[in-house]
Amino acid sequence: MAVRQTLALDAMGGDHGPGVVIPAALRFLDQRPHCQLILVGRQEAIAEHLPSSAARDERIRIHPASQEVAMDELPSKALRGKKDSSMRVAIDLVKRGEADACVSAGNTGALMATARFVLKTLPHIDRPAIITAIPALKGQTHMLDLGANVDCTAEHLFQFAVMGSELVRAVQGLPMPRVGLLNIGAEEIKGNDQVRAAHELLAGSSLNYVGYVEGDDVYLGDVDVVVSDGFVGNVALKASEGVAKLIAQMLKRRFRRNWLSRLSGLAALPVLRGFRAEVDPRRYNGASLLGLRGIVIKSHGGADALAFEHALRIADQEVRSGVIARIEREVEVHLGEARALKLQAAEVPA
């Protein structure tokens, strides 16, 4: 029998727990015969949502965990007090090598804190970052960090760039992903000190660095990786979600205004449905916690089965592409470059 990829699922995480995780797991297994899943959580709760036919599937295993991390629980509290939580046990399985990746829809802060504590960061990586794909006019763009790191030095931003570039190279098969650094436009006041220093590091590296990009460039698809600190990245992503929802609401309101607009909406239904599917955020669900010694995927807390299934696919893709080993190797190469650049700069008298 071929060696199977194994994903550990935090079955209790997210707003809906096993009610979403189990149906997503079953659909995922239908399409990925090479995978096997470990469902981590309270056995009764899982069994309740698991059809007996699926319970006999040798590719599904239940791993008990007696506790759950609440969605609003303080990360530090979850880390100290919930050592048998479904989230923690799923990460432990990755640490012990029993699973190749872990997927959770639980509390982001707790997931990051626990994953960092259990798995540790890769050599030379100071801080893990959160990355996700977002739709663009041409293809898609990956953006990081999305909220794990509020204040970042130039070195942190540089590390994010290296990790993001290698992730995209691995999972999208792009030989030289174009990397952009998020900044604001006004020429003389361009960026803060950290961003300008990161720009120097990136410009001197062998990454395919294309320079500064602005907030609207993210959605053009002219770059493959957009780097920013976690505060800026999080606000940009959330603001984008806000606008998308606003537009959807306005469009809906207009089509529902009177019988004539309703009729025309009916005529346009196939187009509107296709459009909705295209921009469906569920198709982009699943953010990677990058920089750890293991693959951890965060699903949106409110994800439904379709969205959670997409997060599982991302985990599968990262396992198959061997992204962790690749990032580890690339970080080694590029940090050597950054060090050389810094030495060089130090040798030039100011």
Q: Which is nearer to a copy of itself, 30 or 216 (CB)?
A: 216
Sheet of strand 5-10, all strands in order from the earlier edge strand to the far edge: 60-64, 35-41, 5-10, 101-104, 295-298, 287-290, 129-135, 140-144, 225-227, 178-182, 208-213
Residue among 103, 139, 90 nearest 14 (CA): 103
Q: Which is nearer to a copy of itself, 2 or 267 (CB)?
A: 267
**In the complex, least distance from residue 79 CB atom to a copy of itself, rounded to whole angstroms:** 10
Q: Which is nearer to a copy of itself, 236 or 319 (CB)?
A: 236
| Nearest-angstrom CA–CA distance, 207 and 91 | 31
Which residues, listed in sequence order, are joined to residue 209 by a DSSP beta bridge? 179
Q: Which is nearer to a copy of itself, 184 or 345 (CB)?
A: 184
Name, in order, each residue with C-beta under 8 angstroms of 168's C-beta and a sequence gap of 6 or more.
142, 174, 177, 224, 225
Strands 101-104 and 287-290: unpaired
Whether the ω angle into residue 72 lies within 30 degrees of 0, i.e. cis, is no
Q: Which is nearer to a copy of itself, 254 or 329 (CB)?
A: 254
| Nearest-angstrom CA–CA distance, 164 and 160 | 6
Q: Which residue has the tokens 């994903």?
A: 7
**In the complex, least distance from residue 151 CB atom to a copy of itself, rounded to whole angstroms:** 5
**In the complex, least distance from residue 256 CB atom to a copy of itself, rounded to whole angstroms:** 10
**In the complex, least distance from residue 181 CB atom to a copy of itself, rounded to whole angstroms:** 12
Which residues, listed in sequence order, are joined to residue 35 by a DSSP beta bridge? 5
- Where on the chain is the footprint of a copy of itself (CB under 8 A)? 72, 74-76, 108-109, 112-113, 135-137, 147-148, 150-151, 182, 184-189, 191-192, 214-220, 228, 230-232, 234-247, 249-251, 254-255, 257, 260-261, 263-265, 267-271, 274-275, 278-279
Give CA 210 to chain center in angstroms: 23
User: CA 104, 120, 162 angle in degrees (round to 5)?
Assistant: 90
Q: Which is nearer to a copy of itself, 37 or 236 (CB)?
A: 236
**In the complex, least distance from residue 43 CB atom to a copy of itself, rounded to whole angstroms:** 30
Q: Which is nearer to a copy of itself, 34 or 257 (CB)?
A: 257
**In the complex, least distance from residue 240 CB atom to a copy of itself, rounded to whole angstroms:** 4
**In the complex, least distance from residue 150 CB atom to a copy of itself, rounded to whole angstroms:** 5
